[in-house]
Amino acid sequence: MADESLVRLRGVAKDYKRGAETVHVLHALDLDIPRGDFLALMGPSGSGKSTLLNLIGGIDRPTSGSIEIAGTRTDSMTDGDLGKWRAHHVGFVFQMYNLLPVLTAERNVELPLLLTKLPAAERRKRANAALGLVGLSERAHHKPRELSGGQEQRVGIARAIVSDPTLLLCDEPTGDLDRKSGDEILDLLQALNQQQGKTIIMVTHDPHAAARAKHVLHLNKGQLSREAAA
């Protein structure tokens, strides 16, 4: 099992300074996530779920321990290398979508491709293909404020998958949506996992959302506990 791991964390701890006090958010975590998994991370607020997701996604660094993604140690990379690594290997889906308001859906989706060497025409083609995959081809030229919450999140997912990343990291992707839109997003994530073989790690508070994952991990006070496969 460990040999097939796409994500491998060993002894990962994360501390924060809050004034003179040191807050231990994560305690010496070991974690293996196989390629093709759809993992839900659950836990109460402040349990360290988002911190763990940020560490795996390379937008934060552990206080100690090692993080290896697809055989590459990311915890020891320079900031510049880590930025390039994220561009190629990680797709982020945010709770508040984090689309850029002045750009159309198409241009929002195209953004990660600006970090590749693809020519403009190819970038547009791929952005439209990604929008097609999330069922939003006809909204390509709309700006975020002209879309519903569910549609915005679908644009967010298209942006996350457009560069065909190794990992899809979703932080409360349905947290800001009604049940119906949330279900559509979860359908989409499940399809990406099952049909495209995408490895997905999703942080959620919602047991209904977590139930769509293949595995669920609970974080409590910085410690992990595994739940039976869904």
Partner 1 sequence: MSNNSWDQITAITSMNVRNMSQRAASSIVALIGIAGVVTVLIGVLSIAEGFKAVLEISGSDQVAIVLRNGATDEMGSGLQQEQTRLIADAKQAARDEQGPIVSPELYVVVDVPLKSTGTAANVPLRGVGPQAVKLRSNFKIVEGVNFTPGKFEVVVGKGASMQFSGLTVGSQLRLGTTNWTVTGIFEDRGSVAESEIWTDATVLQGAYNRGTSYQSMRVKLTSPSAMQAFKDELSTNPRLNVRVFSEKQYYAEQSKILVTLVSTIGSAIAILMGLGAIFAALNTMYSAVSSRTREIATLRALGFGPAPVITSVLAEALLIGLVGGVVGMVVSYVAFNGVRASTMNFATFSQLTFAFTVTPQLLVQGLVYALILGFIGGLLPSLRAAKLPITTGLREL
Contacts with partner 1 by CB under 8 A lie at 54, 57, 59-60, 80, 83-88, 92, 94, 96, 98, 100-103, 107, 111-112, 114-117, 120, 159
Other beta carbons less than 10 A from residue 118's beta carbon? 15
Rounded (5°) CA angle 219-222-223: 60
> CB of 95: closest distance to partner 1 in angstroms?
10
CB of 135 to partner 1, least distance (A): 22
Of the candidates 149, 211, 201, which has an alpha carbon nearest to the alpha carbon of residue 175? 149
**Could you give the angle at the alpha carbon of 14 between the alpha carbons of 71 and 27, nearest 5°?**
90
Q: CB-wise, 90 or 216, nearer to partner 1?
A: 90
CB 179, min distance to partner 1, A: 24
Using the minimum distance from each CB to partner 1, give the nearer residue, 73 or 84: 84
Question: End-to-end CA distance of the chain, in Å?
Answer: 18
Closest approach, Cβ 51 to partner 1, in A, equals 8
Paired tokens of 43: 């836990």
Whichever of 43 and 112 has its CB closer to partner 1, that residue is 112
